[in-house]
Structure 1
Amino acid sequence: MPSYSTPGVYVEEIPVFPPSVAPVATAIPAFIGYTEKAVGKQGEDLTKTAVRLTSLLEYEAYFGKPPVQDMAISVSKRVTAGGRLLGVALSWTAKPSLPTQFLHYAMQLYFANGGGPCYVYSVGGYGNATKGAFTDAITALEAVDEPTLLVFPDAVKLANDGDYGSVVDAALTSCNKTQDRFTIADVRNAVAGGTDDNAKVTANFRARVTKNTVEFLKYGAAYFPYVNTNVPFASADANVTLTAFDVVTVADDGKETSAAVPNAAGKKLDDATLDIKGKETAVYSAIQAFIGEAYVTLPPSGAIAGVYAQVDRTRGVWKAPANVGLSLVIGPAVNATNDLQDGLNIDATTGKSVNVIRAFFGKGSLVWGGRTLAGNDNEWRYINVRRFANFVEESVRKAVGVFVFEPNDANTWVKTRTMIENFLINQWRDGALMGAKPEQAFRVVVGLGQTMSADDILNGLMIVEVHLAIVRPAEFIVLRFMQKMPEA
């Protein structure tokens, strides 16, 4: 009660609401990779700086466009004897499949699949990937509090599986250290003819991720295979090579005569001496349409990060990010069968579950797995369980900070317990916790003789125990049918 000396009217505002737990954001990925540029609004260098973004347009303003792809095509122009155009036939000399860098395309998939705010950490301009660039970035991001997901699609461009495994190890170690984020990893080279079966996944991925204990593996999930998208390659006339340019003349009697355009072979599409854009308008338009139908194949982590954000926003972090369709995706680069997924989903030897993206008739491409890399652990087997625990731990940790240096007595303990219980009741009502009643869903314990001894209190410790019954996904649904005997 304040002491008043001067006569008058004084107003006192009495707080009636107890402190509360503010839910933290759950799907804020930090993307690590190579960019065309890294320049801020004032011209400052943003290389090796975590930049918060909310859209692809904002990304391009700071970090530029995707790398232009080199292409090589053959052109065959068919004309009548009088020179009237009959058609243009085009073919790939070498059809591109994988872009030279993935980050920009991954950002497209992220936003198309429901992604929102995120961070981008550029490790440099377009060039050869190095292991140290990614591990240093992962360490640097530990100083940034908001990110909850680590995504590094460009890391699959590292020289070998061992280097990529080291980056995944670094990410899992960082997540274990901060305890507030989760790693989304790709299986490297998961395309047809590459890492495309269970044995190769074990040899090229599971064996290369050397963090083999649950305390690390529970903080990450891996996805297989790459996805074929309907996102076209970035192209430019200066990067399109004409390996052949023939003119086929069709006579009135149907006889065809072919002749190469002089000095065209090996020239670029923008070559001034050919001037295809000015002199061969129909051919130029046909080439542009043709190369516009060359679509990129990408590691899935960008799309998966978008799915996490979408599911968190529409359902909740407690819902498994699975059985969800992917936008901008034509189909998986490897068509997985049940037999293939059996070995990927459950691995008795290493326990490193790999989630599969599968194509289903009439449904499109679905994320068909929801396990962490700790696939054999009963506590932390599922992604949603791990991420919901991260969410609760981080939210409560920040909220309980108001009680630091408060008296370590029963009044503080009751306030702390009540604050956490109110927060968990809301989570239970949303469906995140099991149980018909709150007391079946969670329990918060704090107090002398319960979580603390007299010695703990003398040493300044206030220990709070939170017990949660987190919902698990229905991963295997078994329908049992039997015939019923007729009754009189």
Structure 2
Amino acid sequence: MATAYKTPGVYIEEIAKFPPSVAPVETAIPAFIGYTEKATDGVLDLKLKPTRISSLVDYETHFGGPQKETDITVAVTQTKSAGLITAQKAVAELAEEKRSKHILYYSLQLYFANGGGPCYIISVGPYKATMAAALVETELDAGLVAVKKEDEPTLIVIPEAQSLSIGDFKTLQDAALAQCADLKDRFVIMDVHGDGESLSDPTANLITAINEFRSNGVGANNLKYGAAYAPNLETTLNFDFEESSINVIINTDGAAAAAVKLNTLSATDNAAYELSKAAITDLPCKLPPSPAMAGIYAAVDSSRGVWKAPANVSVATVVRPVIQFTNIEQDQMNVDPTGGKSVNAVRPFIGQGTLVWGARTLAGNDNEWRYINVRRLFIFIEESVKKSTMQFVFESNDANTWVKVQGMIENFLTTLWRQGALQGVKPEHAFYVSVGLGKTMTALDILEGRMIVEIGLAAVRPAEFIILRFSHKLAVS
């Protein structure tokens, strides 16, 4: 406002009466770290440079396609009568240990199929013919360091971490959790590493794998910033393959011919060629659940809000979990009395498909941070309020500023309360915001330039256990 006027006339002064507003930040922007076919858009080198994409087409433009499978074999069985083929079938095989360990492309397919939106890709290098575990951990860790420089990502997903040794897996995941605790604006979605028990093996002992994961796959620090899921998923995604490397063995009336390459079969037996390709399409593509969960987080945040637990939701593009288990086994997954490391189950239900059946962080015994939606709601509110209060840095630390800050935050939290993010029948039951001399600050705080705002929230929590109590009632005339 002007302090003095020298020329006679009419002057207009606009006085700001409303407090500024809090702009809510995005809550489900995953950062996928892994190997890609390429890392360039034709001009820029994108290796270890977080790149924002919005679709699978964007991914293919910048990072290429999947690593082609070369160890598939196809057995074609034919029956002939009078020199004519009367019946034939083909069965394809791909041993899990021989398939490519580079699964980032398929993971992005699973992510977008489950409702995923914009995300970041951090390419740590081109595909490798063989995986040297120690080198892979170092390169994936470099991708983790690169994503730390980006402000927008709110989720960290490393699908290829399962291919590491369990020791390297622990080192990587502990570093991811530490980054989340340091920045306080992101959350880790991780897969269970069972060491000797593969989560892609239907005969594996799931509880043994989870116990190994709890003991040697993740440490005891910063557990509230991550959630783990198991088992792996059998998806409907199709493998990409190199026809010139696929062996096809044709067995006619019990007599097996020498193996031929798939790409040469089309010229000699087109029917067997098409049948072989169809058999390869039927091969189950097994993937860790973290990419699907990242998509589900994004979909639930968009439709319901970050305060809704990402559970009791169907998983798309999935046939079934690889390992079947019982309620008793899930009891041991959900509650861990020793270390408190909860693991969320992905389970099939008759008539409902495959559902996410758990909503706990790794800190499953922590009453404050037990649930994923509570942790992520606080991350969302903390980051939104933090960014909005940046405008008050170096403002006068007096009552005028305090009123603006308090009003700004209260308006934001009232909106969230109306949307169902906070408990309470009245706003004052759901939250409080306190700032001021004698409330949150002393005279010394003001002298040293500190403005302290205290915010209390009553976050909604999921109804994890619904208990119905029934009893007999005597008839009354």
One of 198, 202, 209 as aligned partner of 2:211: 202
Cα distance in structure 1, aligned partners of 2:188 and 2:208: 23
Cα distance in structure 1, aligned partners of 2:204 and 2:78: 40
Q: 1:348-380: CA deviations, max 9, x gaps?
A: 101010000000101110000000000000000
Q: Larger deviation: 432-441 or 193-202? A: 193-202
Cα distance in structure 2, aligned partners of 1:10 and 1:445: 38
Counterpart secondary structure, 1:352: coil
Q: CA deviation at 1:14?
A: 4.6
CA 1:5–1:240 in structure 2 vs 1: closer, same or farther (change >3 Å)?
farther
CA 1:142–1:194 in structure 2 vs 1: closer, same or farther (change >3 Å)?
farther
Q: CA deviation at 1:184?
A: 0.2
Cα distance in structure 2, aligned partners of 1:385 and 1:194: 35
Q: 1:425-447: CA deviations, max 9, x gaps?
A: 00100111010000000000111
Amino acid at match of 1:208: N
Correspondence 1:174 to 2:182: no
Counterpart secondary structure, 2:74: strand
Counterpart secondary structure, 2:20: coil
Cα distance in structure 1, aligned partners of 2:204 and 2:362: 18
Q: Please, what TM-score do these two structures have when normalized by structure 2?
A: 0.93
Q: CA deviation at 1:191?
A: 3.0
CA 1:13–1:412 in structure 2 vs 1: closer, same or farther (change >3 Å)?
closer
Cα distance in structure 1, aligned partners of 2:204 and 2:421: 36
- Contact kept? 2:36, 2:104, Cα under 8 Å: yes
Correspondence 1:111 to 2:143: no
Counterpart secondary structure, 2:219: coil
Corresponding residue of 1:21: 22
Q: How many residues align?
A: 465
Corresponding residue of 1:232: 238
Corresponding residue of 1:91: 91
One of 139, 144, 148 as aligned partner of 2:150: 144
Larger Rg: 1
Corresponding residue of 1:190: 199
Q: CA deviation at 1:75?
A: 2.3
Corresponding residue of 1:377: 366
Structure 2: segments with no counterpart, 5+ residues: none
Please list, as runs of the form range in 1=range in 2, the aligned pairs for 1:299-448 lying within 5 A after superposition: 299-448=288-437
Cα distance in structure 1, aligned partners of 2:6 and 2:56: 62
Corresponding residue of 2:45: 45
Counterpart secondary structure, 2:390: helix
Cα distance in structure 2, aligned partners of 1:93 and 1:373: 36
Counterpart secondary structure, 2:336: coil
Correspondence 1:466 to 2:455: yes
Amino acid at match of 1:52: R
Cα distance in structure 2, aligned partners of 1:157 and 1:411: 57
Q: Larger deviation: 14-23 or 414-423? A: 14-23
- Contact kept? 1:428, 1:434, Cα under 8 Å: yes
Cα distance in structure 1, aligned partners of 2:102 and 2:322: 18
Structure 1: segments with no counterpart, 5+ residues: 249-257
- Contact kept? 2:333, 2:342, Cα under 8 Å: yes
Q: CA deviation at 1:201?
A: 1.1
- Contact kept? 1:115, 1:307, Cα under 8 Å: yes
Q: 1:14-68: CA deviations, max 9, x gaps?
A: 544321100000000000011111112x422111110001001111111111111
Cα distance in structure 2, aligned partners of 1:308 and 1:162: 28
Amino acid at match of 1:54: S
Q: CA deviation at 1:94?
A: 4.6
Counterpart secondary structure, 2:360: coil
Q: Larger deviation: 42-51 or 106-115? A: 42-51
Cα distance in structure 2, aligned partners of 1:165 and 1:376: 21
Amino acid at match of 1:187: V
Corresponding residue of 2:261: 268
Amino acid at match of 1:113: N
Counterpart secondary structure, 2:469: coil
- Contact kept? 1:48, 1:121, Cα under 8 Å: yes
Q: Larger deviation: 137-146 or 220-229? A: 137-146
The percentage of aligned residue pairs carrying the same residue is: 50
Q: 1:438-468: CA deviations, max 9, x gaps?
A: 0000000111111111111111100000000
Cα distance in structure 1, aligned partners of 2:398 and 2:17: 20
Correspondence 1:163 to 2:168: yes
Cα distance in structure 1, aligned partners of 2:360 and 2:204: 20
Q: CA deviation at 1:141?
A: 1.0
Correspondence 1:132 to 2:138: yes
Corresponding residue of 1:283: 272
Correspondence 1:211 to 2:219: yes
Amino acid at match of 1:67: Q
Corresponding residue of 1:255: none
Amino acid at match of 2:452: I
Cα distance in structure 1, aligned partners of 2:345 and 2:393: 45
Counterpart secondary structure, 1:444: strand
Counterpart secondary structure, 1:228: strand
Amino acid at match of 1:27: A
- Contact kept? 1:179, 1:390, Cα under 8 Å: yes
**Cα RMSD (Å):** 1.9
- Contact kept? 1:196, 1:225, Cα under 8 Å: no
Corresponding residue of 1:253: none
Cα distance in structure 1, aligned partners of 2:218 and 2:250: 52
